[in-house]
Amino acid sequence: PDMDLVSTSHIERLNGTTRLHMRRLSRLTYAFSKKIENFEAAVALHFAYYNLVRTHGNLKMTPAMAAGVERSFWTVGDLVEAAS
């Protein structure tokens, strides 16, 4: 990576957003996963929603669209259909 462009603020913002949206990762809470499979599923669902469904303000599109992975917005229904 270009060391002039390296910044931890983007990573810290993503960590904060993830903790805000996933109560299991919040500190001092009783919301935890008893099984690792449930935790992995919750994390996968969060990042799928974050990257494929949620429109980001500065981008005016999803991160997947900005990266060229997807051409259109997904709905929550599309996400559920893809998971089953």
Residue 2 covered by a domain? no
DSSP 14-39: HHHHHHHH-GGGSSS-S---SSHHHH
DSSP annotation of 75 reads P
Q: What is the pTM of this model?
A: 0.76
Supply the pLDDT for residue 4. Answer: 86
Assigned domain for 76 exists: yes
The mean pLDDT of 63-73, rounded to a whole number, is 94
Domain boundaries, position 32: 9-83
In a domain, 64, yes or no: yes
Total number of domains constituting the chain: 1
The two three-digit tokens of residue 48, written as one number: 């799928």
Q: What is the pLDDT of residue 25?
A: 82
Residues 6-62: tens digit of each pLDDT: 889 988 988 888 888 888 887 777 778 888 998 899 899 999 999 999 999 888 999
Whether 26 contacts 39, CB under 8 Å: no
What is the Cα–Cα distance from 54 to 20, expressed in whole angstroms? 15
Residues ≥6 apart with Cβ < 8 Å to 17: 50
